[in-house]
Chains A and B, each alone.
Chain A
Amino acid sequence: MSVVDTIASVCLVGGALLSMLAGIAVLRFPDTMSRIHAATKPQVLGIVLLMIGLGLRLGTVAIIGELALIVVLQFVTAPVAAHLTVRAAFRGEQEDQDAQPDGLSGHGAEAAGADDTPTEIAHALVDENVGADPDHPNRTVLDRRPESD
């Protein structure tokens, strides 16, 4: 077993080990975000290690070109796919928690209810009798109209 074969074996085992670690992590980690974080590792470093191992094993130019194509495809697509997945997970969590308005999700305004529009704030102030008219307790400064009689 030559030196090149040994290095190729180490790289192949390293890539396989990363895949197994990602499997353990996706099984054991507590929430969705950390699971996706762990899922990205074998897609980039694991694939690169496997490709290095295979390239050392069958080292012709055409094969190395094909291996480089796979590596470049993984490098371009894996972060995009992970970002899309994490964004979907983030939006889902926001909807689950009925959370505060948030610039990233875009769902915050509906999720937090309609309390934030100016009309609703005015009605909330009316409910607390802020600015109430002392002559007419049910009428406030905000909707005072000219008396018709």
Chain B
Amino acid sequence: MTVTMWICGVLFGLGATFSAIRLVRGPTMIDRAAALDIILAIIVGVLVLIAADTESPIMLVVAVVVALLGFIGSAGLAKLLPRDRR
């Protein structure tokens, strides 16, 4: 299981790094919103990975909250962005 944790951690780290590059660079705010969505999905994945590593389900509550926050965040961005896009 330790090997699995390392592989997953490296993959999540690479994905979060690439998304963060797009988050900084992204030409429009919509690109940044998409990168933020991926980063939030990666945060949920890391929480699940912590739960699998420690074998305790406490982190799952946090994962539920982060999943809902991701939806609220991207819906709000999509609603408010067109007035001020760049």
Question: What is the interface of chain A, defined by CB distance below 8 A to chain B?
Answer: 1, 5, 8-9, 12-13, 15-17, 19-24, 26-27, 32, 35-36, 39-40, 42-43, 46-47, 50-51, 53-54, 57-58, 62-63, 66-67, 69-70, 73-74, 77-78, 80-82, 84-85, 87-89, 91-92, 95
Pairwise interchain contact B68-A73, C-beta atoms closer than 8 A: yes
Count of interface residues, chain B, beta-carbon cutoff 8 Å: 50
Residues of B within 8 A of A (CB): 1, 3-4, 7-9, 11-12, 14-19, 21-22, 28, 30-31, 33-35, 37-38, 41-42, 44-45, 48-49, 51-52, 55, 57, 60-61, 63-64, 67-68, 70-71, 74-75, 77-79, 81-82, 85
Name the contact of B22 in the complex, choosing from A8, A19, A26, A74 (C-beta under 8 A). A26
Q: Across the interface, do A32 and B31 meet the contact criterion of CB distance under 8 Å?
A: yes
| Majority secondary structure of chain B interface residues (helix, strand, loop or mixed) | helix
Count of A-B residue pairs with CB < 8 Å = 174
Minimal Cβ-Cβ distance residue in A for B37: A39
